[in-house]
Amino acid sequence: MNLPARTRSFSCVAAALLWGLLSASSAAQYPLRPIRLLVPNPPGGASDAIARVVAPRLGEALGQPLVVENRPGSNGNLSSELTAKAAPDGYTLLLGQDSQIVISPHLYASLPIDTLKDLTPIASLITTQMVLAVNPSFPVKNLREFLDYARRAHPPLAYASIGNGSQHHLTMEMLKLRAQVDLVHVPYKGGGPATVALLAGEVAAMFGGNSVTGHIKSGKLRGLAVAGPRRSATFPDLPTLGEFFPGLEVTAWLGLFAPAGTPAPILGRLHAETNRLLADSTMRDRIRGLGGLEPFVSTPEEFAALIRADYAKYRDVVKAVGARID
């Protein structure tokens, strides 16, 4: 039966209003069932460790468990896609790492989603300082000596990373560009293998996060500088890269994301409970106890601005070094 145009229009408006009321009601009662928290890495890494620490407490605050689900694959792109294509109802969340959100889009010829449009940032979780580390047998004591030695080295020194296009890789490439030194990139499959290679003297240096922190503390590796905007609480005696090259800084972060279109009340509740949890002294101590990690509290606007700035920064770096993953 063909309805008059006015009747069809009224029906569409009524349906939209009803959907809006149902969505508002669902958001007000959220959550009513367990929530999936997708983690882009296998068990054992920093993102998994954070998920295991945060999920139980956040679940308690929300009144429903957060079920951690490790979904590694394609440098985090699999978990990004699964989240973006899930129903935008707050029951599928992503513990996203900076590399998959702001670096991968520039490395791959094509991705099934747009990370800036198809994922909505909820809350920042942690930051970690990237540390430039060398084997203690290497004849340098500080960053300046390392760069001078690297300029004289023939053939060029080799450095490790956790993979092509990783933040560890691109941070060293940024340093190479600013310091005008030549180093050879040797990618490994993860922080563990890369750190083992550095400990064995197979490479001269690497930027690392918590994979190198314990070894620097024990004296098995020597830290030369940190890549963040300020000196690290873990290594207060190490200078920042910016002290030598103003503006050169890298902040590694993890945060919570939801599918685009998730109702604002749900996002608001998740953000508020996450920030409340990160303000708890016991939780802050547990995060810091994981090694080189710091709680990262921000407003939604601040976190979104950081994502946009990092997206633009890595776009330019990837273009400059010609990094690509097909």
pLDDT tens readout for residues 273-300: 999 999 999 999 999 888 778 999 999 9
For residue 326, is pLDDT > 90?
no
In this structure, are 282 and 302 located in the same domain?
Answer: yes
Rounded distance, CA 70 to CA 115, Å? 19
In this structure, are 207 and 183 located in the same domain?
Answer: yes
Q: Which domain holds residue 295?
A: 34-128+252-321
For residue 141, is pLDDT > 90?
yes
* Cβ proximity of 61 and 277 under 8 Å: yes
Boundary of a domain, candidates 243, 264, 291:
243
Whole-angstrom CA distances from 133 to 74, 139, 204, 258 are 27, 13, 9, 35
CATH at 45: 3.40.190.150
Helix (H, G, I), strand (E, B) or coil at 3: coil
Q: Is residue 4 part of a domain?
A: no
Q: How confident is the model at residue 11 (pLDDT cuts 50, 70, 90)?
A: low
Q: Is residue 163 part of a domain?
A: yes
Q: Is residue 13 part of a domain?
A: no
Question: CB count, 10 Å around CB of 23?
Answer: 15
* Cβ proximity of 82 and 111 under 8 Å: no
Adjacency order of strands within the sheet including 183-187: 183-187, 157-161, 205-208, 131-134, 222-226
CATH at 222: 3.40.190.10
In this structure, are 171 and 275 located in the same domain?
Answer: no
In this structure, are 69 and 96 located in the same domain?
Answer: yes
- For 199-253, the pLDDT digits (tens) are 999 999 999 987 898 899 999 999 999 999 999 888 999 999 999 999 999 988 9
Q: Is residue 29 part of a domain?
A: no
Task: Pick the closest to residue 312 from 105, 21, 121, 125 (CA basis).
Answer: 105
Q: Which of 116-120, 276-280, 318-322 has the lowest mean pLDDT?
A: 318-322
In the 3-class helix/strand/coil scheme, how is 123-151 assigned residue by residue?
EEEEEECCEEEECCCCCCCCHHHHHHHHH
Average pLDDT in the chain: 90
What pLDDT sits at residue 22? 46
In this structure, are 119 and 267 located in the same domain?
Answer: yes
Q: Is residue 306 part of a domain?
A: yes
Task: Pick the closest to residue 144 from 244, 229, 250 (CA basis).
Answer: 244
Give the end-to-end CA distance of the chain in Å, rounded to a whole number: 52
In this structure, are 43 and 95 located in the same domain?
Answer: yes
In this structure, are 165 and 145 located in the same domain?
Answer: yes
Peptide bond into 155 cis (omega under 30): yes
Helix (H, G, I), strand (E, B) or coil at 241: helix
In this structure, are 56 and 92 located in the same domain?
Answer: yes
For residue 312, is pLDDT > 60?
yes
Rounded distance, CA 260 to CA 244, Å? 40
In this structure, are 52 and 191 located in the same domain?
Answer: no
Q: Is residue 170 part of a domain?
A: yes
What average pLDDT score do residues 190-201 get? 92
Q: Is residue 79 part of a domain?
A: yes
For residue 9, is pLDDT > 60?
no
Rounded distance, CA 174 to CA 147, Å? 13
C-alpha torsion angle, residues 284, 285, 289, 291 (rounded to 10): 40
Question: What tokens appear for 224 in the block?
Answer: 């030369």
Q: Is residue 6 part of a domain?
A: no
Q: How confident is the model at residue 67 (pLDDT cuts 50, 70, 90)?
A: very high
Q: How confident is the model at residue 324 (pLDDT cuts 50, 70, 90)?
A: confident
Rounded distance, CA 23 to CA 171, Å? 43
Rounded distance, CA 292 to CA 98, Å? 16
What average pLDDT score do residues 48-54 get? 94
In this structure, are 237 and 157 located in the same domain?
Answer: yes
Boundary of a domain, candidates 243, 269, 295:
243
**Structurally, how many domains does the chain consist of?**
2
Rounded distance, CA 68 to CA 58, Å? 12
In this structure, are 235 and 288 located in the same domain?
Answer: no
Boundary of a domain, candidates 223, 243, 263:
243
In this structure, are 143 and 238 located in the same domain?
Answer: yes
**What DSSP assignment string belongs to 8-57?**
HHHHHHHHHHHHHHHHHHHHHH--SS-EEEEESS-TTSHHHHHHHHHHHH
